[in-house]
């Protein structure tokens, strides 16, 4: 298995070492892509076709604790409830834990709490796998650099490799077949006035996973070859917009990037549509408000919910116009990218 080989390469002679602590515990934030990751060049290693760029939501995320369990199988708790090991959630987690089960007798107890809805296109798997990898690092006492932890998190869910930092983060696609050059890194840029609001359309679990949707897009959309070109342009424009603190440029590129990703999904066989009538009503509201002079833009992931980007000066108006479930200051302090 390529993933096990990658884990062995990262851990070196730490592979198969015993846990140094009784428990490892960590928090990781959700990240929202401003330039999306959509398409893999290696399915098993979650290697992307393009680079991507995100911003973390510092208040929202996952806290996970892990310890060794002397039992027959893993024990998984999510938000204070035991999760049956034959559920999709548990199976995905157990499959990932298998990479770190150095003897078949080792089992884990994982306790995870999340203040975001699971599977609703709010990147719960990103903060989940990132928190798990940070917790494993503490349990085993590996002390790995974050770049290496980013590679491990990527093996759980691609976008998880971006959830190890606050602030703006770039995931380098890399070109190596083993994925050792495909990791994320924090960008030393901040934007104190930048805000994000979540317009929750639905918290229900999505019908098609991003994993399936992404793969279907790559294999069946006639237009997929336009995507890497768009991303190349958008990444440059997003970084330039942040450097210049040009909010309209940032918003235009971010919104167009998300719309292009969803447009691509409409061209797959069979088509994929995460957008609902409510999503469209909200999009129209954003466009109307913008026409009337307010600087507000949206992005959308693999679900019907919209995330609004706006500046601190417009908080009152945005809150009045939209029913936001969270309003997040993306850079609550000056050194927030570390």
Report d(CA 107, CA 111) in Å as an integer: 13
φ/ψ (deg, to 5) at 264: -60, -40
Closest alpha carbon to 160 in 258, 49, 45: 45
CB of 46 to ligand PMV, least distance (A): 7
CB closer to ligand PMV, 26 vs 184? 184
Angstrom CA distances, 158 to 33, 107, 227, 266, 279, stand at 12, 25, 18, 22, 25
For 102-144, give the secondary structure using H, E and C: CCCCCEEEEEEEECCCCCCCCCHHHHHHHHHHHHHHHHHCCCC
Instruction: State in angstroms the smallest separation of the CB of 68 from ligand PMV.
Output: 28
Written in H, E and C, the secondary structure of 257-305 is HHHHHHHHHHCCCCCCCCCCHHHHHHHHHHHHHHHCCCCEEEEECCCCC
By beta-carbon proximity to ligand PMV, the closer residue of 63 and 211 is 211
CB closer to ligand PMV out of 158 and 251: 158
Among residues 140 and 171, whose Cβ is nearest to ligand PMV? Answer: 171
Residue closer to ligand PMV, measured from CB, 19 or 158: 158
Residue 307 CB contacts under 8 Å (≥ 6 apart), including other chains: 32, 196, 197, 198, 199, 298, 299, 300, 301
Binding residues for ligand PMV, rule: CB under 6 A, are 33, 36-37, 52, 123, 125-126, 157-159, 210-211, 301-302
What is the smallest separation between the CB atom of 116 and ligand PMV, expressed in angstroms? 13
In contact, 165 and 30? CB cutoff 8 Å: no
Q: How far is the CB of 157 from ligand PMV (least distance, A)?
A: 4
**What is the nearest approach in angstroms of ligand PMV to the Cβ of residue 90?**
17
Nearest distance in Å: CB 262, ligand PMV: 9
Identity of the residue, 139 or 257, whose beta carbon is nearer to ligand PMV in the bound complex:
257
Shortest reach from residue 173's CB to ligand PMV, in Å:
12
Least spacing, CB of residue 106 vs ligand PMV, in Å: 27
19 or 304: whose CB is closer to ligand PMV? 304
Cβ 269 to ligand PMV, closest distance in Å? 19
If the CB atoms of residues 139 and 237 are measured against ligand PMV, the closer one turns out to be 237
Q: Among 219, 296, 259, 301, which Cα is nearest to 49's?
A: 219
Return the axis-axis angle of helices 2-11 and 146-156, rounded to nearest 10°. 160
289 to each of 13, 88, 237, 259, 270, how far by Cα in Å?
57, 41, 24, 18, 34
Give dist(CA 232, CA 5) in Å, integer.
30
Nearer to ligand PMV, 2 or 211 (CB): 211
- Residue 35 dihedral angles phi and psi, to the nearest 5°: -125, 115
């Amino acid at each position: 298995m390529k993933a096990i080989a990658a884990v062995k390469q990262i851990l070196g002679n730490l592979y198969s070492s015993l846990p140094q602590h009784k428990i490892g515990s960590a928090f990781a934030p959700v990240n929202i892509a401003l330039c999306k990751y959509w398409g893999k060049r290696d399915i098993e290693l979650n290697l992307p076709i393009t680079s991507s760029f995100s911003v973390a939501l510092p208040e929202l995320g996952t806290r996970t604790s892990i310890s060794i369990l002397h039992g027959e199988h893993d024990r998984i708790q999510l938000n204070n409830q035991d999760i049956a090991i034959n559920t999709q959630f548990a199976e995905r987690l157990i499959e990932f834990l298998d990479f770190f089960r150095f003897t078949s007798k080792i089992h884990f107890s994982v306790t995870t709490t999340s203040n975001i809805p699971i599977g609703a296109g709010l990147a719960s798997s990103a903060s989940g796998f990132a928190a798990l990898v940070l917790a494993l690092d503490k349990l085993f006492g590996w002390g790995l650099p974050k770049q290496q932890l980013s590679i491990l998190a990527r093996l759980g869910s691609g976008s998880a490799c971006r959830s190890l930092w606050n602030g703006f983060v770039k995931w380098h696609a890399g070109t190596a077949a083993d994925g050792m050059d495909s990791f994320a890194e924090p960008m030393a840029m901040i934007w104190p006035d930048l805000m994000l609001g979540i317009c929750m359309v639905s918290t229900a679990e999505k019908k098609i996973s991003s994993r399936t949707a992404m793969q279907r897009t790559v294999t069946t959309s006639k237009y997929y070859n336009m995507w890497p070109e768009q991303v190349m342009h958008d990444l440059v424009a997003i970084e330039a917009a942040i450097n210049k603190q040009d909010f309209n440029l940032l918003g235009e590129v971010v919104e167009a990037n998300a719309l292009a990703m969803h447009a691509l999904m409409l061209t797959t066989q069979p088509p994929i549509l995460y957008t609902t009538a409510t999503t469209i009503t909200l999009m129209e509201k954003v466009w109307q408000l913008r026409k009337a002079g307010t600087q507000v833009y949206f992005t959308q992931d693999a679900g019907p919910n919209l995330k609004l980007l706006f500046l601190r000066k417009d908080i009152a108006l945005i809150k009045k116009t939209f029913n936001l479930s969270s309003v997040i200051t993306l850079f609550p302090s000056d050194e927030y990218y570390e």
